[in-house]
C-alpha cells in the first residue's frame, strides 16, 4: 500500500461530548473497551460521559450520566464484566422513554454515543438515532429545550461495538468476550478430562449459545470432543445410532473417556431441542456407559478477560472514537469490528439484518444457508471439525500410496501438538501413510522416524510443549543422512511445524535440491513459535498462549503493587529481537512503556519515561509497569533500566524487576492456539495432497519448483501459501525478524492509552465497508 499515511492529529474532539454505555448481557473485555473509549476521547480533547446501567441509566438521567476523567478507568482493564453496569430496559422500548433519554443527553450536550452490547442493544441505538431530530422537535414544543439546542444538537452519531460471548453477530470474526468464554470452557474441559480418564466416564457438557453454536463448535475443535450438537448444523436422522456406534468404537480403541458438547440451543433436523439430559439418558440406556452432565452456565461469562479480548476491545474502542469524530449527519450508524487481523467499520443495520437472517434460515430448516450466513470463519471451523472428529472405516479411505513425514523444529510452543494431530488425521483421511519424526532434523538424521496412526494422536490438542520432541538444529550438517532416511522410508512430502529455525531449515533443504533428488518433494511449514517472528505470517502458533501468560503475570504483579504504593515494576519478556510479546503484553496489561528492538530508544527517552512515571505518582494511580524485550538493546539491559529507574525515582517511587523466562514457553495451549494450529495445519495438509498429485510423474514424486516449498501464514484476512525463497527479501536474517511487522502500527495505541502524546496512523481505518455474503467456494480459500 503506497498511500500517504493519514494521521488523526487533525481530528479534534474539542466541543464534542461522547457517551459510553454497556447494554444487554455482559462480556469479558467490555471494561477494556470502555477504558479505550474514555482515554482516546480525552486524548482528542472531547468530553466523555459514563452512562451507568445501560439504557435504563440514559432514561433515568441524574447521577447515571457522569463526566469522567483519565483516572476513572484506571485498573479496570483486567476486570471481567462491566464496571458501568448493564440492565435490560423496558422504558427505552417506548417512545416516551426515548424522549426522556434524548432530553437527558441534550442537557449535557452529548451527541455521540458509543454502545457496547449485542444486536438488540445496537438495533435500539439505531432506532434512537433515526428518531433523534423528531424527539428534539417534540422536546422543543413541550418547552423543555430551546430552538437553539435543536439546531446545535441536530444529529446523533452512533458507533457500536459488539460485546457478546456467543460470537453471534454477523460481520465480525470475533465479538468482545468470545475468546475469554472459550478460555473458561477449555479450563473446565481440561479439568474434566483428567477425572473422566480415571473412571472411564462419558461427560456431556452444556455450553452457552441459545441461537449460535460458535462456543460449542470451537471448544469441541479445541478439545477433540467426540460429538458436538449445535443449532446451525443439526445431526441427520438416526443420529442416535451413529453417535452410539462412534462412542463404542472409541472405547474399543482404548480411549478411556468420551466428551460430548451440547450448545444450549441445540436442535435436531425437525427443530426439536436436543438437551444434555436427553443425550446422557441415551448413552446410559444404549451403551450403559457411566455418564455425567456438567452445565457450565454463567461461569462462561465470568473471570478476567483474555489477552486477545483486551487487545481486541482496546483496538475497537480507539477505532470507535475515530469513527465518531469523523461522523457526519449522513454516515449510517456503524459497528467497528474485526475481519481477520484488520479492524473494519460496517453499517450496523446490515450486520443486524444478516444476523436475523441466520435465525430465519434455521427456523425454516435451511441449515446450509445458516452456516454460510454465519461467515467464513464459522464455516471453516465446522468443516475442520467434520474432517477431524470421525475416522472413516479403512475400506472407505482412499489409498494414495504417498508417505508424508511431520516434524517439530525450534523451541517448543503451545499448540504444536494440536497442529501435529490435525496434520496426521487429515493426512490419513486423504489416504496417505503418516510418519512422525522425533527430535526435529537431528532425530531425522538419526533415523528416529515411525509410522503414526489416527488413534496415536488422540488427546493431543490440550497438551503443551512438543510431544514429538523438538530441536533447534538445522539440517545443513546432516543433509546426506536426512536424504538417506527419506530414501529408506520413501518419504514423498514434508510438513515442518516450528519457528525461525524451521524456516531456515526449509531454505537449506530447498537449496540442497540440486545435489539431492530426495529433497525434490513438496514441503510446507506451519509457523509455531512464542516469539511470533516468522516472516510471512501475522501470527504463529504459541504466541497467544505466551501472551496470556505474560498478561496474567502482569496482573498479579500489579495487584501486589496495590498494597505498597508508589512502585514501578520492570518486566523482561522473551521474543529474541522481536518485540511482539513485549508490545502486545504492554497493551493487554495496561503498561506505561515497552522497550523493543524495532523502535530504537536512547537515554533521553528513558529519562522522559521516568519523568512521566513521576507525574503519574502524583495522581491516584500509584504504580507503574514497564515491559522490556530481552534483546531490545545490548547496553540498556534490564538491570541497567532497573538501576536507572531506582536512582531517578528516589523518594518518589521504588522499583522491582522480574524476568519471566521459560514460563512463557510452557502451559496448556490457549483456545486460540489450539484452534489456529488445528485449522492452519489441516489446510497445509490439503495443500500437500494437491501438490503430490500435481508432481507425481512416471511412478515417482518430483517437485523442484520454488512454489513446492512454502510457508503457510496468516496475512491480514487470509491464509496464504508463500514460497520460502520469496520470503527471503522480507527477512532480516541477522536479527531473525521480518522486516515489516503489522503490530508496530498498534504501538501508538499503547502510548495513547498510557497518556503519551504520539501520532497514530489511521490510514487503514475510516472506510465503511459492506457486509459481504460469501460463496461456499470462498470458505475453502482464505479465512481462518
Q: Which residues of 483-501 are buried (b: 16+ CB within 10 A; e: fewer)?
A: bebbeebebbbbbbbbbbb
Task: Provide the 3-class DSSP secondary structure of residue 574.
Answer: coil
Residue 128's φ and ψ, nearest 5 degrees, are -60, -45
Distance, in Å, from the CA atom of 6 to the CA atom of 745, rounded to the nearest integer, reads 12
Distance, in Å, from the CA atom of 487 to the CA atom of 570, rounded to the nearest integer, reads 52
Distance, in Å, from the CA atom of 506 to the CA atom of 524, rounded to the nearest integer, reads 8
What is residue 528's DSSP assignment? B
Element (H, E) at 386: helix 376-389
Grid cell in block for residue 12 = 479534534
The reply to whether 764 belongs to the active site is no
- Calculate the CA dihedral of residues 627, 629, 630, 633 and round it to 10 degrees: -110
Distance, in Å, from the CA atom of 314 to the CA atom of 308, rounded to the nearest integer, reads 10
Cα–Cα distances in angstroms (integers) from residue 749 to residues 380, 422, 739, 755, 771, in the given order: 31, 36, 21, 10, 27
Of 186, 281, 253, which is closest to residue 225 (Cα–Cα)? 186
Query: Which residues make beta-bridge pairs with 593?
Result: 626
What is residue 233's DSSP assignment? S
Q: Are 389 and 217 in contact (CB under 8 A)?
A: no
Residue 434's φ and ψ, nearest 5 degrees, are -100, 140
Of the candidates 26, 166, 555, 592, the residue annotated as catalytic is 166
Q: Which residues of 656-685 are buried (b: 16+ CB within 10 A; e: fewer)?
A: bbeebeeebbeebbbbbbbbbbbbbbbbbb
Of 322, 320, 319, 344, which is closest to residue 13 (Cα–Cα)? 322
Query: According to the 3-state scheme, what is the secondary structure of 594-633?
Result: EECCCCCCCHHHHHHHHHHHHHHHCCCCCEEEEEEECCCC
- Look-up of cell digits 429545550: 145
Distance, in Å, from the CA atom of 407 to the CA atom of 428, rounded to the nearest integer, reads 16
Distance, in Å, from the CA atom of 71 to the CA atom of 155, rounded to the nearest integer, reads 30
Cα–Cα distances in angstroms (integers) from residue 163 to residues 18, 67, 116, 502, in the given order: 19, 23, 6, 38
Torsion sign across C-alpha atoms 712, 716, 718, 721:
negative
- How far is it between the farthest Cα atoms of the chain? 92
Cα–Cα distances in angstroms (integers) from residue 326 to residues 3, 4, 610, in the given order: 19, 19, 35
- DSSP letters, 438-504, are SSHHHHHHTT-EEE--GGGGTT-TT--S-SS-EE---GGGGHHHHHHHHHHTT--EEEEEESHHHHH
Between vectors from CA 154 to CA 152 and to CA 157, what angle results, nearest 5°?
115
Residue 436's φ and ψ, nearest 5 degrees, are -105, 135
How many secondary structure helices (H) and strands (E) does the chain include?
25, 27
Query: Which residues make beta-bridge pairs with 342?
Result: 339
Torsion sign across C-alpha atoms 299, 302, 304, 309:
positive
- Look-up of cell digits 470452557: 185
Q: Cα 762 from chain centroid?
A: 22
Between vectors from CA 428 to CA 258 and to CA 391, what angle results, nearest 5°?
30
Task: Provide the 3-class DSSP secondary structure of residue 270.
Answer: coil
Interstrand relation of 258-263 and 202-207 (parallel, antiparallel or unpaired): parallel
Residues designated catalytic:
166
Amino acid at each position: 500500500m503506497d498511500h500517504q499515511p493519514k494521521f488523526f492529529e487533525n481530528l479534534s474532539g474539542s466541543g464534542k461530548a461522547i457517551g459510553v454505555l454497556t447494554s444487554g448481557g455482559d462480556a469479558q473485555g467490555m471494561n477494556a473497551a470502555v477504558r479505550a473509549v474514555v482515554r482516546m476521547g480525552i486524548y482528542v480533547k472531547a468530553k466523555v460521559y459514563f452512562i451507568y446501567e445501560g439504557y435504563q441509566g440514559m432514561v433515568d438521567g441524574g447521577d447515571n450520566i457522569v463526566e469522567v476523567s483519565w483516572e476513572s478507568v484506571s485498573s479496570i482493564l483486567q476486570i471481567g464484566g462491566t464496571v458501568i453496569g448493564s440492565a435490560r430496559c423496558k422504558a427505552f422500548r417506548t417512545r416516551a422513554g426515548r424522549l426522556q433519554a434524548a432530553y437527558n443527553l441534550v442537557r449535557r450536550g452529548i451527541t455521540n454515543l458509543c454502545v457496547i452490547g449485542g444486536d438488540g442493544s445496537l438495533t435500539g441505538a439505531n432506532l434512537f438515532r433515526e428518531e433523534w431530530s423528531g424527539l428534539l422537535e417534540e422536546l422543543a414544543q413541550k418547552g423543555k429545550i430551546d430552538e437553539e439546542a435543536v439546531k446545535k444538537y441536530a444529529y446523533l452519531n452512533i458507533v457500536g461495538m459488539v460485546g457478546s460471548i456467543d460470537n453471534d453477530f454477523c460481520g465480525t470474526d470475533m465479538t468482545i468476550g468470545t475468546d475469554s468464554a472459550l478460555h473458561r470452557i477449555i479450563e473446565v474441559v481440561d479439568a474434566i478430562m483428567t477425572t473422566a480418564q480415571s473412571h472411564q466416564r462419558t461427560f456431556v457438557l452444556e455450553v452457552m449459545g441459545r441461537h449460535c453454536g460458535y462456543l460449542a463448535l470451537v471448544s469441541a475443535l479445541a478439545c477433540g470432543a467426540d460429538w458436538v450438537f449445535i443449532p446451525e448444523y443439526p445431526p441427520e436422522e438416526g443420529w442416535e445410532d451413529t453417535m452410539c456406534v462412534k462412542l463404542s468404537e472409541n472405547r474399543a480403541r482404548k480411549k478411556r473417556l468420551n466428551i460430548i458438547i451440547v450448545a444450549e440451543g441445540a436442535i435436531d433436523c425437525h427443530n426439536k431441542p436436543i438437551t444434555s439430559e436427553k443425550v446422557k439418558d441415551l448413552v446410559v440406556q444404549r451403551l450403559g456407559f457411566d455418564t455425567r452432565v456438567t452445565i457450565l452456565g454463567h461461569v462462561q461469562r465470568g473471570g478476567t478477560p483474555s489477552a486477545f479480548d483486551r487487545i481486541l476491545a482496546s483496538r475497537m474502542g480507539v477505532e470507535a472514537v475515530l469513527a465518531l469524530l469523523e461522523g457526519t449527519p449522513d454516515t449510517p450508524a456503524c459497528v467497528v469490528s474485526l475481519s481477520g487481523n484488520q479492524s473494519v467499520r460496517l453499517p450496523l443495520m446490515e450486520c443486524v439484518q444478516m444476523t436475523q437472517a441466520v435465525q430465519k434460515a434455521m427456523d425454516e430448516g435451511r441449515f446450509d444457508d445458516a452456516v454460510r450466513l454465519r461467515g467464513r470463519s464459522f464455516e471453516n471451523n465446522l468443516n475442520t471439525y467434520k474432517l477431524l472428529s470421525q475416522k472413516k472405516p479403512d475400506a472407505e479411505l482412499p489409498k494414495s500410496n504417498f508417505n508424508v513425514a511431520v516434524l517439530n523444529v525450534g523451541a517448543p510452543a503451545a499448540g504444536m501438538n494440536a497442529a501435529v494431530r490435525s496434520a496426521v488425521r487429515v493426512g490419513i483421511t486423504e489416504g496417505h501413510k503418516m510418519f512422525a519424526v522425533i527430535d526435529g532434523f537431528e532425530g531425522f538424521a538419526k533415523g528416529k522416524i515411525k509410522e503414526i496412526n489416527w488413534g496415536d494422536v488422540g488427546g493431543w490438542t490440550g497438551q503443551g510443549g512438543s510431544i514429538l520432541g523438538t530441536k533447534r538444529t538445522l539440517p545443513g550438517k546432516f543433509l546426506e543422512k536426512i536424504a538417506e532416511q527419506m530414501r529408506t522410508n520413501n518419504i514423498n512430502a514434508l510438513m515442518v511445524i516450528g519457528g525461525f529455525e524451521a524456516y531456515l531449515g526449509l531454505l537449506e533443504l530447498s537449496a540442497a535440491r540440486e545435489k539431492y533428488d530426495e529433497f525434490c518433494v513438496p514441503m510446507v511449514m506451519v509457523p509455531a513459535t512464542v516469539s511470533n517472528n516468522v516472516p510471512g505470517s501475522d501470527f504463529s502458533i504459541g504466541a497467544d498462549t505466551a501472551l496470556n501468560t505474560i498478561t496474567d503475570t502482569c496482573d498479579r504483579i500489579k495487584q501486589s503493587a496495590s498494597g505498597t504504593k508508589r512502585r514501578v515494576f520492570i518486566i523482561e519478556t522473551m521474543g529474541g529481537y522481536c518485540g511482539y510479546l513485549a508490545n502486545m503484553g504492554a497493551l493487554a496489561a495496561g503498561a506505561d512503556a515497552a522497550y523493543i528492538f524495532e523502535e530504537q530508544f536512547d537515554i533521553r527517552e528513558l529519562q522522559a519515561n521516568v519523568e512521566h512515571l513521576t507525574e503519574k505518582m502524583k495522581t491516584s494511580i500509584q504504580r507503574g509497569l514497564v515491559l522490556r524485550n530481552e534483546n531490545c538493546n545490548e547496553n540498556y539491559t534490564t538491570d541497567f533500566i532497573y538501576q536507572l529507574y531506582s536512582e531517578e525515582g528516589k523518594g518518589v517511587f521504588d522499583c522491582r524487576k522480574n524476568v519471566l523466562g521459560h514460563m512463557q514457553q510452557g502451559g496448556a495451549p490457549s483456545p486460540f492456539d489450539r484452534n489456529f494450529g488445528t485449522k492452519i495445519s489441516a489446510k497445509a495438509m490439503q495443500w500437500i495432497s494437491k501438490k503430490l498429485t500435481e508432481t507425481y510423474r512416471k511412478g515417482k514424486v518430483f517437485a523442484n519448483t520454488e512454489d513446492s516449498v512454502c510457508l503457510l501464514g496468516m496475512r491480514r484476512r487470509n491464509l496464504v501459501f508463500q514460497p520460502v525463497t520469496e520470503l527471503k527479501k522480507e527477512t532480516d536474517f541477522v536479527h531473525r525478524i521480518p522486516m515489516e511487522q503489522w503490530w508496530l502500527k498498534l504501538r501508538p495505541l499503547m502510548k495513547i492509552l498510557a497518556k503519551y502524546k504520539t501520532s497514530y496512523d489511521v490510514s487503514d481505518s475510516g472506510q465503511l465497508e459492506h457486509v459481504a455474503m460469501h460463496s461456499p467456494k470462498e470458505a475453502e480459500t482464505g479465512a481462518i
